[in-house]
Amino acid sequence: MADGPSSGAGISGRIPPGQRLVHGWPVSHYGPVPRFRPERWNLRVFGATASGGTHEWTFDDLAALPHVTVVADLHCASGPTSTGHEWYGIPAATMLDVIPPAPGVTHVMAWAEYGYSANLRLADLTSPHTLMATHHDGEPLTAEHGFPLRLVVPHLYGYKSPKWLRGIEYMTADRRGFWEERGYHNIADVWRQQRYSYQEEEGDGPHGPPPGSR
C-alpha cells in the first residue's frame, strides 16, 4: 500500500489553502455519464511512443498489469476537499515501462470519453501516487465516479483526474486540455493554489498567452 503525502497528518494539516473539508464523495463532472460497453472499450497509449506505434488494452487485459492501493485526498478547484479515499488500480508509471515514450517526451494528454482531455507533465504521471483506478474503498468504481477506469492524480486539482479514461497520448511539447483551454491553470498544483490561467507564470504553460489573460 502507498499512502498519499498527507495521509499521516491531522485533518487541518492536510487541507490545502483555500479548500474546505466536505464529507462523503460529491459527484462532479462535465457532460453525461457514459455507458460502459465492454465489447467496444479499450485503453490506448499513442503519440510519441518509442516504437512509433499504438498499444491497446481491453478491460480484461488490464488485470494482468501490476496493481497497488493508494490512500489519498481529492481536491476540487472550486473549493471542496474530501479525505481518505482508498484507491486500487494500476500505477500510471507502468504505462511508461510497458510502452516506453520516445526521447523528448515531456508531457502527456489523458483522454476520456466524449473527447475530454487533461494535460499533465510527465513527472505528474509518474508520481508514485498517480494511478489508473478501477476500485474505490474496496469496491469497483461506480459509473458516476468513473467506472471502468479513472485517472487519479491526487496532488493536482480534480480536473486533472479524468473519469472514464480511454487514452494516454505521449507529447514532446505541452498543449492545453479541456478545462485548461477554458481558463483553468495549466499545472493545477493544489498547495500553490494554481486554479486559474491568469495566475500562470512564465513556464507554467505552452507558448502564447493563457486563456482569459489580459
Q: Print pLDDT tens along the chain (214 aa).
A: 333 444 434 566 789 999 999 987 777 767 788 999 999 999 999 999 999 999 999 999 999 999 999 999 999 999 999 999 999 999 999 999 999 999 999 999 999 999 999 999 999 999 999 999 999 999 999 999 999 999 999 999 999 999 999 999 999 999 999 999 999 999 999 999 999 999 999 999 997 777 866 4
Task: Give SS3 for 211.
Answer: coil
Instruction: Give 3's strand partners.
Output: 71
Question: For residues 209 and 197, what is the distance between their CA atoms, to the nearest angstrom?
Answer: 9
Q: Say if CB 72 and CB 152 are below 8 A apart.
A: yes
Within 8 A by CB and 6+ apart from 39, the residues are: none
The pTM of the whole model exceeds 0.75:
yes
Q: Say if CB 95 and CB 168 are below 8 A apart.
A: yes
Within 8 A by CB and 6+ apart from 73, the residues are: 4, 6, 14, 81, 82, 83, 84, 85, 154
Q: How many other CB atoms sit within 10 Å of the CB of residue 52?
A: 9
Answer positive or negative: Cα dihedral of 206, 194, 92, 177.
negative
Question: For residues 51 and 102, what is the distance between their CA atoms, to the nearest angstrom?
Answer: 7
Task: Give SS3 for 82.
Answer: strand
Question: For residues 186 and 113, what is the distance between their CA atoms, to the nearest angstrom?
Answer: 21
Question: For residues 18 and 199, what is the distance between their CA atoms, to the nearest angstrom?
Answer: 15
56 is written with which cell numbers? 491497446
